[in-house]
Amino acid sequence: SQKIEQNSEALNIQEGKTATLTCNYTNYSPAYLQWYRQDPGRGPVFLLLIRENEKEKRKERLKVTFDTTLKQSLFHITASQPADSATYLCALDMDTGRRALTFGSGTRLQVQP
Amino acid sequence: ETGVTQTPRHLVMGMTNKKSLKCEQHLGHNAMYWYKQSAKKPLELMFVYNFKEQTENNSVPSRFSPECPNSSHLFLHLHTLQPEDSALYLCASSQEKGSGANVLTFGAGSRLTVL
């Protein structure tokens, strides 16, 4: 079965810097890789996704890359703000057979003012 | 609100109680999901319903019993739970199209504590 690794250690960065979060997976590459944000006591909220044939996707201050050779996705937040502090989850969407997403355990980001 | 409403938000129950979690989606989606989230662990898929039919039961113990009376409502009936079942239970919905990305919309979750 698929295993997803996200850095379990919290990531602490200074406001204004770029945060980079990593998502590594085993076995088969998903058709889509999705990123979600989760605040304490709340459900995850979808941010953006990238297809397996795309190298990079941007949305405002967010950028996602996808390397199927390395089996890795990187999630970047540029010009980070304290309001970006949250846990970020990556999820694999296989687009075949089982359609429910498989999630990583998430990385907690703390942006210091 | 995200369009997916879960009640109650918090629930404390004893091991011999029977309780239910409720989820309602106002998005016109055709698929609904229950996930379990424990501290420091990935979301664990429990059940999937598509057009009210259960399409996946991820080896969940029988003390958890789902019910999907229509495509807008999903319940999780709880009976004789164990303390290790304490977790955040998340409901989600999506519009499954057969192909294309399957983006989930989550509710805020029901925090369950089993004493």
Per-residue pLDDT of chain A (113 residues; tens, 9 = 90+): 678 999 878 999 999 999 999 999 998 888 899 999 999 989 999 999 999 999 999 999 999 999 999 999 999 999 999 999 999 999 999 876 667 899 999 999 999 99
Cβ atoms within 10 A of the Cβ of B98, count? 7
d(CA A76, CA A64): 6
pLDDT at B15: 87
Number of A–B residue contacts, CB under 8 Å = 65
Contact B90 A43 (CB under 8 A): yes
Residue B110, classified by CB atoms within 10 Å of its CB into exposed (0-12), middle (13-18) or buried (19+), is buried
Q: Which residues of B touch A106 (CB under 8 A)?
A: 42
Residue A110, pLDDT score: 97
Q: Measured between alpha carbons, how far is B72 from B17 in angstroms, rounded to an integer? A: 26
Residue among A18, A3, A41 at smallest CA distance from A109: A18
Alpha-carbon span B35 to B91, nearest angstrom: 6
Q: Look at the block and give the residue holding tokens 């739970």.
A: B81
If one counts every other C-beta atom within 10 angstroms of the C-beta of residue B12, the result is 13
Which residues of chain B approach chain A closer than 8 Å at the C-beta? 2, 4, 6, 31, 33, 35, 40-43, 45, 48, 56, 88, 90, 92, 94, 96, 99-109, 111
Buried-exposed string A23-36: b where 16+ CB fall within 10 A, e elsewhere: bbbeeeebbbbbbb
- Average pLDDT of each block of 10 consecutive residues along chain B (115 residues)? 88 92 96 93 91 78 93 95 95 88 95 95
Residue B94 and residue B31 in contact, taking contact as beta carbons nearer than 8 Å: yes
What pLDDT does A23 receive?
96
